[in-house]
Chain A
Amino acid sequence: MSSTERPSRRGIFIKLGVLLNGVAGAMLAVPILRYVLSPLIRNRKPGYRAWVSLGSVGQFPAGQTRFATYRNPVVTPSDGDTAKIACWVRNIDGERFQVFAINCAHLGCPVRWFAQSNLFMCPCHGGAYYEDGSRASGPPERGLFEYRYKIDGGALFIETDDMPTPGAPGALASLTLRKPPCA
């Protein structure tokens, strides 16, 4: 056995070892990436976007805007109260409705309805919206996010989706893009 042969054989074993670890690393990387990115892959889960009841239509008198809450359809045991979500229901004329997300279209703070001045006001940076959800004043660049709704068996249903954010309103259509109510 010559002295030059040994290092090269060792070299091959080192390369083999690196290759082996590389294969193992790749095999580990796939599930790790799937795990880390699971919030993005979850759309396939059933019930992610779902129609949720806000209760009977009778709770929302014509011409008024009322507070309503529902439970997010996708819940994990550790969610606690955060699974609850609030929204504003406006009964326009007894037949047509508007359901607004609670989140201000500026930075997501909870807007409050003032029935006396017919305005939604945001406590964070002072965004204000008219009763139909359109922007009245302040930093928001758009109107309130609006849920799609339907009336089924005397109950008001809305289609839930991601928490709406300015860059990702999701299924919650903007007022400007809103299609005529389907109900």
Chain B
Amino acid sequence: MRLIGKVGRWFDDRLQLGKPIMATMAHPVPRRTASWFYVFGSAALTVFGLQVVTGILLAILYVPSAGEAWNALLVLNHQVSAGWFIRALHGWGSNFMLAIVLIHMVQVFLFGAYKFPRELTWIVGVLLLLMTLGMAFTGQVLRFDQDAYWGLGIGASIASRVPLLGPALVNLLLGGPIIAGATLSRFFALHVFVIPGLLIAFVGLHLLLVLKLGINEWPMPGRIVRRATYVAEYHELTQRDGIPFVPAAVWKDVIFSGFVLLSIVACAALLGPFGPGGQPDPTIIQTAPHPDPFFLWLYALLSYLPPAAETPVLLIGPAVGLAVLLALPLFAGEGEKSWKRRPIAVLTILLAAVTLGSLTHLGTHTPWSPVMDAWSGEPIPEQYLKGRTALERHGALVFQLKQCHNCHSLDGKGGQRGPALDRVAVELTKDQLIRQVIQGGGNMPAYGKNLSPAETTALVAFLETLHPAGQAPARDASRAAILP
């Protein structure tokens, strides 16, 4: 022990870091901030550390070449001992990091921690969120499979819509005319050098600001932030009722970080690595590209926006959202901190959570996508064929052969792009059915050219049988009056 102390002193005589480190660790923090609500920032930092370590380990074997990357991932998964586990840790670490960063942000927002004098801490935090999202997207590209390939196509298609600069942006993003070797290597550089470098710098700045300005005190309803008096009040609070950060507050951070790490290890061990999916061969088109969980909301949004609104919403929406986030502490830098007295703040969080949650849920189920193999893989339910005439059964055949089933479900099976047809006869008369089939409309293609008159007659005869047992099909009342 004496030797260790001696060596330690030898280093500290030269480095002279011992005293400032001790002072920083023991700096007083308001008593109530030693709370389980204050552990998310340190947990995000811990997961970031895990991502750096596992990322370096993966880089040892990963090959950032469009021709080799997919095979390198298979080698990692199957041939390198514990390779699958390191990949799983990195993948699950990414999901946990984004989740924790978002929770941290919500907590900071609801506790009013972005207000004076911590505006810059918040702004740096918003930039850190952007970088974390950037890491998630570029990381998905490095898992160079079919989803990554077509995901790049989606990214390029969005970038191309920027007025004037669009084509140039696409070329810069892809590193050439098409998605190829140059695309992967530039995303590798972004994921491994550029964004992590920025992340480390900005995390350092974020931490420095937290230390310089002090951790946000527990918000009390009625304790108003005023620029003129806040700093003195905070100083008084930490002096009067402060506790040393180490060890009085830090133990909760340490325990929560350990819990998060164990959770990541458990997910990685039990659920394994993500992919890679199908090989990134653009001529294999039997694929339904799907983004990673944190971008599913965007995927869903792109399906539900009206076509004409898509480009403005895609280009203006993020810019406005980012501007609001960055400017938030500048126009709301004073006033009430407690969420109990900030109903609009609470509603904003709830609205954002419900919106993103619903869109993500829809993105998982993709009800807007045609089920490409329903026409050959999902038979017509038996009860819709029993006791039907030959014409009606032929209509059922037309229904399958013309891929109607890809977009329309029967008895809950098949696509959900169009309405379910189990009771279509109650809703549309025969003439309306014929018109809809031939002319389409309401987001349905027109089948006039693709169906012979006989096929149309049979198909409509089949559709007319689709009504619940006790309900008569719709009929045109005027028709009966005119043609008795």
User: What residues of chain A have their CB less than 8 Å away from a CB belonging to chain B?
Assistant: 37, 39-40, 42, 48, 67, 69, 72, 74-86, 102-103, 106-112, 114, 116-119, 121, 123-126, 128, 130, 136-141, 161-163, 165-168, 170
- Are A107 and B172 in contact (CB-based, < 8 A)? no
Do A48 and B177 have beta carbons less than 8 Å apart?
yes
CA of A143 to CA of B444 in the docked complex: distance in angstroms? 15
Please give me the 6 A-B residue pairs with the lowest Cβ-Cβ distance, nearest first.
A80-B67, A167-B160, A78-B181, A108-B153, A136-B445, A165-B160
Chain A contact surface mostly: loop
* B67-A168 in contact (CB<8A): no
A81 touching B289, Cβ below 8 Å: no
Q: Quote the shortest CB–CB distance from B183 to chain A (angstroms).
A: 8
Q: Which one of A37, A42, A109 has the greatest number of beta carbons of chain B within 10 Å?
A: A109
CB of B157 to closest CB in A, whole Å: 4
Task: Flag if B168 contacts A124 (CB, 8 Å).
Answer: no
Complex Cα gap A119–B407 (Å): 13
Given contacts A42-B176, A126-B369, A139-B303, contact A84 B406 (CB under 8 A): no
- Please give, as numbers and ranges, the residues of chain A lying within 8 Å of B158 by CB-CB distance: 107
Q: Among B20-28, B31-39, B275-283, which stretch is in contact with chain A?
A: B275-283
Query: Given the complex, which residues of A lie within 8 Å of B156, measured CB to CB?
Result: 108, 163, 165
Q: A106-B157, A165-B160 known; A130 and B445 CB under 8 Å?
A: yes
For the complex, is B249 an interface residue (Cβ under 8 Å from A)? no
Report B-chain residues with C-beta under 8 Å of the C-beta of A84. 281-283
* Chain B neighbourhood of A167, CB < 8 A: 157, 159-162, 166-167, 170
Contact A141 B307 (CB under 8 A): yes
5 contacts between A and B (CB under 8 A): A74-B177, A82-B67, A119-B450, A130-B449, A165-B160
Given A137-B440, A141-B307, A167-B157, list of 10 further CB < 8 A pairs?
A39-B171, A76-B182, A80-B68, A103-B157, A107-B158, A117-B403, A136-B446, A139-B303, A162-B167, A167-B160
- Does A81 lie within 8 Å of B177, measured CB to CB? no
Knowing A78-B67, A108-B154 are in contact, say whether A137-B445 is a contact too (CB < 8 A): yes
Q: Which residues of B contact A168 (CB under 8 A)?
A: 160, 166-167, 170
Residues of B contacting A86 with CB < 8 Å? 282-283, 285
- A82-B282 in contact (CB<8A): yes
Q: Which of A77, A117, A123 contacts B372 (CB 8 A)?
A: A123
Q: Is B114 positioned at the interface, with any CB of A under 8 Å from its CB?
A: no
Residues of A with C-beta under 8 A to B149: 82
The contact of B282 among A102, A121, A125, by CB within 8 Å, is: A102
Decide if B458 is an interface residue (CB 8 Å cutoff): no
- Does A116 lie within 8 Å of B150, measured CB to CB? no
- Smallest distance from the beta carbon of B441 to chain A beta carbons, Å? 9
B308 within 8 A of partner (CB): yes
Alpha-carbon separation in the docked complex, A76 to B179 (Å): 12
Task: Indicate if the CB atoms of A79 and B181 lie closer than 8 Å.
Answer: yes
Report yes or no: A72 in contact with B180, Cβ–Cβ below 8 A.
yes
In contact, B369 and A124 (Cβ under 8 angstroms): yes
- Contact indicator A110/B285 (Cβ below 8 Å): yes
Q: Which listed residue, B176, B403, B417, touches A114 by the CB 8 Å rule?
A: B403
Closest to B164 in A: A167
In the assembled complex, B401 has its CB within 8 A of some CB on chain A: yes
Q: Give the Cβ gap from A100 to chain B, nearest Cβ, in Å.
A: 12
User: Measured between alpha carbons, how far is A83 from B372 in the docked complex, in Å?
Assistant: 26
